[in-house]
Chain A
Amino acid sequence: MSHLSMQELSASLDGALTGPALEQAVAHLATCHACRDRQARLAKHDDALRRLLAGDPDDRALDALARRSEELVAAVVRGLPVPPLATSAPLRDDEEEARQAREAQHREEERREEEKAREDVRRILDALAPPSPAATVPTEATAPPTAIAPPEPTASAQPTAIAPTKPTETAPPQPTASPSPAPENAAPPVAPLRREPPRTPERAGGSVALEPFFDELKLEPDDRAGTPAGKGETSDVVHDGDGYDTFNDRAYAGPQQREGPPPVSRAPELRAKPPAAAGPAPAPASGAAREGARLAGTPPAETPHGPRKPARPELRAEGFGVARKSQPAWARMGLEPDPLAPGMFREAGDPSTGDASVDRTRRSPYTPRPSRSIGPAVVGAVASVGVLTAVILVLRFTPAGSGFHLPRVEFGRGLEPAPVASTPTSQVRDASTRPAVEIEVKPTAPAGSAAPVPAPPTGGATSLCGRVVDAAGKPLAGVQLTVEGTTTSARSDDRGHFCLEAAAGAHFVRFQGPGGSPQRSTLEFAAGAPECRLVVR
């Protein structure tokens, strides 16, 4: 079932369908839920748009708009200056500006809140600070005054006036609620708000904000500082982690000169006493371990900066590898430099002294094998090469009738075989290869003239391979060989080689070189036939 198209649905919704199209659409909508739902969606969107944009305005608003328009039209007709356009509702740009102004005001309020919180923190810190000349400076003298602008009036109720000086231009914006500075609407200069003086916590019934906190501290008198701070009494005394009363210490000069915590590794007795007042530290009773090093029993000397580190303990001559730390690696491995081979090492023990206790067969895996004399090896190699050369020469120059001949070795294609003799012995390759048959191809008449008629083929297909050479024995490339009466043909390669397949028996084979005249000859195709050599004159 094909659904109604969007155009049919739209036209049906608008009542633009008539006749059979209307009947068909009505019948389809009665049965098709999908099309009905789709049309209902379209109708829903139409209704929403009508509610938003098709409503008639309020009569009074429309009358007011008409009156303003009449003034404009009258001014245009009479040639008077056109009064500024006015709207009863803010323009979109004004709304955007008002929104930006609200956001800016919101950000300003947030900034003020942050500044106020920061000011509170600063005030608390000022209150907690020890009485010093710097702390007694009034805050007004150090902190800049904070200017807080009053909330700007939101004047969106006034009509926005725009003067149409040109058909497409609007007059400069009239003073509205926009944040741009307008002389008549600008906020009067606001005197900086006077900051409140910092509230210092009073010691008895003073600051409400700080009192409970210090009440909970339950501070006890500090006998070291000598300043009484009774239990339950409000005080700005702050104790550090060691129980030291910082603010009651008159010698305390500030956090910059405060000594940091003693190092963890320092002995507790050293940390308990000031370094300057501490005398020579007693030696540990039994060579006590200090920072993991074994002391030799010498007490460390004291310096104005603290206890000096003890002298380096005496190394043991024996034992766990302390004495070997000053030796090189090869010495620790039991080796010594080999005077005969610079850069090499040998087992410890001077051979010149005849130390027979050194086992020279044992080598360190890190030491390369000492070099030996290479004379015998060189002599042996030279002798081997000489012997082989002599054998080759002897075989090479052996007479032909002796029965021995060095196989010819060809490398690459540059060496062309010399014209071999016609004797079968010169064509021997191996025991199973018969000598090549040399066939002379002479320029003859076309096929079927005076040439002897070959015997008809008798057997199956056999192959005949060979080489085509000229009278000088040079291989001929590109010679087309065709077995007459068949479609078999071949072309000799660069070395003159070719292979033909034909039925066993004698066949006329036609030869035609590139640019030469055709020639023909009779070739015998037989199984196991030797490679032939076609000499083209």
Chain B
Amino acid sequence: MDSRPSRPWTEAGQDPELLVHAQRGDLAALLRIYNTHRLALWRTCLAITRHQGEAELLFQETLVHATQQLRAAPARQPLLPWLVQLARQLDTSHARGRTVSSRTALPARRPNGESWQAGAHGAHHVDVEQRALHGYSLLDPDDQWLVALRLFERLSYAEISRVTGLSVARVSHRLAVAREYLDQVCQAEDRAA
């Protein structure tokens, strides 16, 4: 398994104490919580939106909403899953106003804002990345979420199970289905090309 730390996802750490202070109006405690989880929250926003500008917007909106709903935050649990859940809900509410084609269309640039041709990856890698991103955008949002937790956050099946509430077998099955669909989409686009 990978060595990326997964504690923010599964371990509460200092979140409960800071949350208590934050709920009493301590801005420093609240900002400390947010600074602890900002990187993971940023990656999640980017994985959800697949667009840098949209991810920044979603990041800020998530924090604003979390601050407004701070009293509803889980008291003795890590706050990152709660923040990410807020972000997903916001994206869902935003996505209702968009068409499916606009949500699944290949963006003009990479999700990090660079051009597709940037870097020394080569045209073949660009094709692979574009097809993989298109296939990922066609996945169900829940499957996208599982893939993001596994690939981007590098959580184990057990950790994903703990974060999402699904069983380990279910997580394994859903990940396999998502990968198979991704493979089929990429192969179909390969053949079409």
Contact = CB atoms under 8 A, between A and B. Distances in A.
Contact of B27 (A13, A69, A77): A77
Given A49-B147, A52-B129, A73 B34 contact: yes
Nearest to B155: A14
Contacts of A48: 125, 128-129, 131-133
Contact of B68 (A10, A54, A76, A86): A76
A164 B53 contact: no
Interface string A57-100: 10000100110111011101110001001111111101110010
Interface majority SS (helix, strand, loop, mixed), chain B: helix
B94 interface: yes
A45 interface: yes
Q: How many A residues are at the interface, by size bracket?
A: 35 or more
B84 interface: no
Interface of A: 5-7, 9-11, 13-16, 38, 41-42, 44-46, 48-57, 62, 65-66, 68-70, 72-74, 76-78, 82, 85-92, 94-96, 99, 160, 162, 164, 167-168
A8 to B, nearest CB: 8
Contacts of A99: 108
Interface in B40-88: 42-43, 46-47, 50-54, 56-57, 59-61, 63-65, 67-68
B54 A91 contact: yes
Q: How many B residues are at the interface, by size bracket?
A: 35 or more
A50 B60 contact: no
28 contacts: A6-B180, A10-B172, A11-B172, A16-B156, A16-B157, A44-B128, A45-B135, A45-B183, A48-B125, A49-B136, A50-B152, A53-B47, A53-B50, A53-B152, A54-B47, A54-B151, A56-B39, A57-B42, A65-B59, A66-B38, A73-B27, A73-B31, A73-B34, A89-B51, A91-B54, A92-B107, A95-B108, A168-B90
A37 to B, nearest CB: 11
Contacts of A82: 64
B119 to A, nearest CB: 9
Contacts of A7: 172-173, 176
A16 B128 contact: no
Contact of B64 (A15, A50, A76): A76
Interface of B: 1, 25, 27, 30-31, 34-35, 38-39, 42-43, 46-47, 50-54, 56-57, 59-61, 63-65, 67-68, 90, 93-94, 102, 107-108, 110-113, 121, 125, 128-129, 131-133, 135-136, 147-148, 150-152, 156-157, 172-173, 175-177, 179-180, 182-183, 186-187
